[in-house]
Homo-oligomer: A and B are copies of this chain.
Amino acid sequence: MDGFTIRLQAKKLAIRAGRPIAILHEDVARQLGIFPLDRIEIKNPKTKKKIVAIIDVTDSMVSSSEVGLFEDVIKKLKVQEGSSLQVRAVERPKSVEYIKKKILGEALTEKEIKTIVKDLDENKLSDVEAGAFMSAVYIRGYNMQETVAMTKALIENGKRIKFDVSPVVDKHSIGGINGRATMVIVPIVAAAKLYIPKTSSRSITSAAGTADAMEVLANVCLMPEEIKEITESIGGVICWGGALNLAPVDEKIIKVEYPLSLNPQGQIIASVLAKKAAVGSKYVVVDIPVGPGLKIENNEQGEQLAEKFIAVGRRLGMRIEAVLTDGTQPSGPAFGPALEARHAMQILERKCFDSLAQKSCELAGVLFELVGKADRGKGFALAKKLLKTGKALKKMRQIIKAQGAKILSSKRIELAPYTEQVFASDEGEIARINVRRLINIARIAGASYDKGAGVLLNVEIGDDVGKGGLLYTIFAENKRKLMLASREAKRNSGIELGKIILKKIS
């Protein structure tokens, strides 16, 4: 395809596509012998800058003497409207061939995976190619070598933070849905003099991410130097990982996975471990919530994933312990940033010790045993002691202060002002709580964008409620959102009562 060069005039199009795109008239495309999604090299003879762009074809937007340029291209070429550019067809990048290889079911080499990651990083692949790749990875899977290679490639394409202290440890949950165990675990772990630089995400489809909840109490947008400094001096941070560029290609892959909820196991492992390796974690406990409708649907899948996590970690010099947890039930009563932050603070303040507190101590305990801070079987007791003596709370307050303190106590957390209570329409035992539905109601009420909005449960599985008993409270920032959320709750509260008579036959 590397043929002759033609000259075209630049026509600027004020669009940022996130990748270099150029528009050719269909006659020009035919002359170059290329089609939509093929590539051209564009050279600006004045600035000597070159770029490879993916083309689309039009019969009207640009004339046959012009090439339409998106912003990414304009910037790179430093081009003026109307300047004369040299355009020629070029081959597709090698990674397109490797994607086809994966589609055909062959394993990729380390070099091939690195090339794909590099081309994703440099936005050289079209959406069609990226979508086809993730679909193929989902269907074909990665073997161990491929998973390790993908992890390494993601690490190499990102920034790293190097710590002068040790041991650096971490905790990760695969698609946890509510309850901020992280905000309890990090201060417990740091109180035991381990170092835990926890980078968290914002909500995608949940009512709050850890970064959203922590932001209620402190600043979560930290620079790498701040993360290093606070972790080394205090033992822990809880910050937002999104702006750190720790594994930028991972963000792009997640964007491609998102529309079809494609979560190939190997890609999950690479995504998690790359981010952990980027902050130098040597010991990681991975929490794998299991349940129908979750990323991991059953124990068998969970165990497979756990074993792979451990094996891949070993090849990267990391010690990993993975635990399966019940992902079908809510982790605590709160859905929404401020509500979840308040509940985590209440646990640290020793106002309650519920299932979320139990889970947090268990996970911290696993980490203590992994590092050798506690003997086998003694980790949980150490974690609970650090919580019960108030050492974890003290550590949390140090962390909050170091991250530009907003709020140090659960009592000071503001919730949204408009509330509506949702009551049981019958009497019975709480049989099932539809977490996904409560999250939807919390989101309609404004979470996670409105920090104070959400849902606060008043019941747990197995509780007996009378007719008219309080099930939960909805919080919203204004009447309209409250009305929309409570209308949704009335349609279906998400709380199922156990019936003694299952069916009447008459």
Name A's B-contacting residues (CB within 8 A): 1, 3-4, 13-18, 30-31, 33, 35-38, 56, 58, 60-61, 92, 96, 99-100, 103, 105, 126-136, 138-140, 203-204, 255-256, 258-262, 440, 443-444, 448-449, 480-481, 484
Q: How many copies does the complex hold?
A: 2
Residues of B within 8 A of A15 (CB): 13, 15, 61
| Contact flag A444-B4 (CB < 8 Å), given A105-B139, A128-B131 | yes
A444 to B58, CA, bound (A): 23
Residues of B within 8 A of A96 (CB): 259-260
Closest to A31 in B: B449
26 A-B pairs whose Cβ atoms sit less than 8 Å apart in the complex = A4-B480, A13-B14, A16-B61, A30-B448, A33-B203, A35-B204, A36-B255, A37-B255, A37-B259, A92-B259, A96-B259, A96-B260, A103-B135, A103-B138, A103-B260, A126-B131, A126-B259, A128-B130, A128-B256, A128-B259, A128-B260, A129-B260, A132-B262, A133-B135, A135-B136, A136-B139
Contact A449–B33 (Cβ < 8 Å) = yes
Residues of B within 8 A of A138 (CB): 103
Contact A262–B131 (Cβ < 8 Å) = no
Residues of B within 8 A of A17 (CB): 56
A481 to chain B, nearest CB (A): 6
Contact A37–B258 (Cβ < 8 Å) = yes
Closest to A203 in B: B33
Closest to A261 in B: B100
A180 to B493, CA, bound (A): 68
- Among B30, B35, B133, point to the contact of A258 (Cβ < 8 A): B35
A118 to chain B, nearest CB (A): 18
Residues of B within 8 A of A36 (CB): 255, 258
Name which of A3, A30, A133 has the most chain B CB atoms within 10 A of its CB: A3
A36 to B135, CA, bound (A): 18
Contact B103–A484 (Cβ < 8 Å) = no
A221 to chain B, nearest CB (A): 14
A481 to B255, CA, bound (A): 43
| Contact flag A4-B484 (CB < 8 Å), given A37-B255, A126-B259, A127-B127 | yes
| Contact flag A129-B129 (CB < 8 Å), given A4-B481, A100-B261 | no
Residues of B within 8 A of A60 (CB): 16
A320 to B208, CA, bound (A): 59
Residues of B within 8 A of A4 (CB): 444, 480-481, 484
Residues of B within 8 A of A3 (CB): 443-444, 484
Contact B129–A132 (Cβ < 8 Å) = no
Contact B139–A260 (Cβ < 8 Å) = no
- Among B14, B105, B132, B261, point to the contact of A131 (Cβ < 8 A): B132
A26 to chain B, nearest CB (A): 11
Contact A33–B443 (Cβ < 8 Å) = yes
A1 to B441, CA, bound (A): 10
A30 to B446, CA, bound (A): 10
Residues of B within 8 A of A38 (CB): 259
- Among B16, B128, B134, B261, point to the contact of A58 (Cβ < 8 A): B16
A299 to B262, CA, bound (A): 36
A449 to B3, CA, bound (A): 13
A255 to B129, CA, bound (A): 12
